[in-house]
């Protein structure tokens, strides 16, 4: 090969390899988390690693379908979403690649990660009961099962049975009580509704504060948002209500997670694992708590969110959340059967 030709060949080889080298410092993230506080997570990950995060946000279902449609050509490295049912659905569809990481296995408790390593939970949410202080006395409601007691007929507010947060709670009742008893509970809950299911968790809290209903279910971070608000109307809502971590004398409170995993066709697998491990770091875990009022799944992390800490310590249901996810189809069947809209 003549010198000029050799030089040209080398130049061409370098040009072809440059994009690949550049890609090593890139992470393509598909996320269904829509919290502005998460921006700090991505910025600090880049500062620590030099890996640029390219983010696409969207609805859980839309992103899931996009990943499936893109198939082997998908540029996505990591998929983050909320609710265990959505994570498990993605795992069942085969879009995740198992991750073997000593860091993740040591830091994330077994109940908050997939046994095969397909996904990991990085923040936890408790499904709590809120009550109107003028209509319910402390101690009158202790467990989820109490919501089916006829004494509360016409006094309970809930969101739609089809919403993942509520569906996961029903699935946890199936996992803990068996399908027959869970159906009995759900039938009693529906019989006690003050209105047709509607709105989000914050709407349920406001309905309790106004006296439209005496009791409602919510994820704790919606309550903590109100507790941290400077608005007089939000302060009035918090003043009017109390809260209960259900089932403290037995199995513990139902927990859900926000989490994610590395995708099977991820073009930047090393960066993907580094990102997942970063989400389990003390720094990232504190962002989940301080920024979005979620509990870290890493139990040793100390948080500095006074409103979240004000809820108090509680016993969480230790069941692996994947077990709950696998009962979601049954939970929907039960909801349909008892007329829970």
pLDDT tens column, 23-58: 469 999 999 998 777 888 999 999 999 999 999 999
Q: Looking at residue 124, what is its pLDDT? A: 97
The answer on 267 and 150 residing in a single domain is no
Whether residue 39 lies inside any domain: the answer is yes
pTM for the complete prediction? 0.90
- For the record, the structure tokens of 261 come out as 């995993």
What span, in angstroms and rounded, lies between the C-alpha atoms of 282 and 280? 7
Q: What is the pLDDT of residues 60-104, one digit of tens each?
A: 999 999 999 999 999 999 999 999 999 999 999 999 999 999 999
Indicate whether 164 and 261 sit together in one domain: no
Same domain, 74 and 221: no
Q: What is the mean pLDDT of residues 131-156?
A: 98
Strand ranges, E, within the chain: 26-31, 52-57, 78-82, 120-132, 156-157, 215-219, 241-244, 255-262, 295-296
18 domain residue, yes or no: no
Q: Is the model's pLDDT at 19 over the cut of 80?
A: no
Domain presence at residue 40: yes
Quick one: which of 240, 253, 274 has its CA closest to 133? Answer: 240
Residues 55-68 have pLDDT tens digits of 999 999 999 999 99
Residue 15 lies in a domain: no
Q: pLDDT at position 24, please?
A: 67
pLDDT, tens digit (0-9, with 9 covering 90-100), for 251-302: 999 999 999 999 999 999 999 999 999 999 999 999 999 989 999 999 999 9
Instruction: Using the predicted structure, report yes or no on whether residue 21 has a pLDDT greater than 60.
Output: no
For residue 303, the tally of other CB atoms under 10 A from its CB is: 17
| Predicted pLDDT at 37 | 75
Structure confidence at residue 282 (pLDDT):
96
**One domain, residues 198 and 322:** yes
Which domain does 108 fall in, by range? 24-124+256-307
Do 169 and 290 lie in one domain? The reply is no
Is 169 part of any domain?
yes
Q: What are phi and psi of 325, to 5 degrees?
A: -60, -40
Residue 240 belongs to domain with CATH number: 3.40.190.10
Stretch 124-145: mean pLDDT, rounded? Answer: 98
Helices (H), 97-139: 102-107
Residue 8 resides in a domain: no
Say if residue 233 is in the same domain as residue 156.
yes
Q: To the nearest 10°, the Cα dihedral for 305, 311, 313, 318? A: -100
178, 248: one domain? yes
> Could you tell me if 118 and 133 lie in one domain?
no
- Average pLDDT over the chain reads 92
Nearest one of 201, 240, 252 to 222, comparing CA atoms: 201
């Amino acid at each position: 090969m003549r010198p000029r030709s050799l030089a040209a060949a080398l130049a061409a080889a370098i040009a072809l390899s440059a994009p690949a080298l550049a890609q090593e410092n890139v992470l393509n993230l598909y996320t269904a988390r829509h919290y502005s506080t998460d921006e700090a997570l991505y910025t600090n990950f880049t500062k620590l690693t030099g890996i640029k995060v390219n983010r696409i946000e969207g609805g859980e279902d839309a992103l899931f379908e996009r990943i499936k449609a893109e198939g082997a050509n998908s540029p996505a490295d990591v998929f983050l979403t909320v609710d265990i049912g959505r994570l498990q659905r993605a795992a069942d569809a085969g879009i995740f690649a198992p991750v073997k990481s000593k860091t993740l296995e040591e830091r994330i408790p077994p109940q908050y990660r997939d046994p095969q390593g397909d996904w990991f939970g990085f923040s936890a949410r408790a499904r709590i009961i809120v009550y109107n202080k003028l209509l319910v006395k402390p101690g009158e409601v202790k467990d989820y099962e109490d919501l089916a007691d006829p004494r509360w007929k016409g006094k309970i507010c809930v969101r739609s049975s089809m919403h993942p947060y509520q569906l996961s709670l029903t699935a946890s009742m199936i996992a803990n009580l068996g399908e027959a008893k869970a159906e009995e509970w759900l039938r009693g809950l529906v019989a006690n509704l003050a209105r047709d299911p509607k709105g989000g968790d914050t709407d349920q809290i406001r309905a309790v504060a106004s006296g439209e209903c005496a009791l409602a279910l919510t994820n704790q971070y919606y309550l903590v948002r109100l507790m941290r608000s400077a608005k007089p109307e939000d302060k009035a809502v918090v003043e009017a209500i109390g809260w209960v971590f259900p089932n403290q004398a037995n199995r513990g409170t139902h927990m859900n997670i926000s989490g994610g995993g590395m995708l099977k066709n991820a073009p930047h697998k090393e960066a993907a694992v580094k990102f997942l491990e970063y989400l389990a770091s003390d720094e990232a875990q504190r962002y989940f708590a301080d920024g979005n009022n979620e509990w870290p799944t890493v139990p040793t992390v100390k948080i500095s969110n006074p409103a979240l800490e004000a809820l108090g310590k509680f016993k969480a249901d230790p069941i692996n959340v994947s077990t709950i996810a696998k009962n979601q189809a049954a939970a929907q069947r039960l909801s349909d059967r008892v007329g829970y809209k």
